[in-house]
Amino acid sequence: MNKATTPNGNKLSAFFCNIFGHKYIVSKKVTHHIKEYKCAHCKMQVTTDVNGNLSKLTPELQEINDTLEDIFNKRHRALTTSQHQKVA
Ligand SMILES: [Zn+2]
């Protein structure tokens, strides 16, 4: 029912990526150091892991990133707010 990907197109793109390598574009900025990437050709998603390497974006890593993003945004917002208050 849920056709999010097109297997046939991806297969050809994946073949292309196997030869020329993936063309990753940033799909989501999680923190300053952690980003999620998506291959422009085969739509494969990867993310920066805790070691700074690119790992395939698994549901587990996606969940970790969501949590990190949440913490990061809250902290960033709190920091910005406090700085703003100091200025004001
Ligand atoms: Zn690719």
Interval 17-56: pLDDT, tens: 999 999 999 999 999 889 999 999 999 999 998 788 999 9
43 CA distance to ligand 1 centroid (A)? 6
Whole-number Å distance between alpha carbons of 2 and 78: 39
Whole-number Å distance between alpha carbons of 34 and 11: 28
> Where do we find the tokens 């993310």?
47
pLDDT for residue 47:
97
Confidence band for 1, pLDDT divided at 50, 70 and 90: very low
pLDDT for residue 11:
81
37 CA distance to ligand 1 centroid (A)? 10
- pLDDT of 5 > 90? The answer is no
Question: Where are any strands of DSSP class E within the chain?
Answer: 24-29, 35-39, 45-48, 54-56
- pLDDT of 87 > 60? The answer is no
- pLDDT of 57 > 80? The answer is yes
**What residues sit around ligand 1, an ion, with C-beta below 5 angstroms?**
17, 22, 39, 41-42, 44
Q: Collapse the DSSP code of 64 into the 3-class scheme (helix H, G, I; strand E, B; otherwise coil) and give the result.
A: helix
Top-confidence residue, 23 or 78: 23
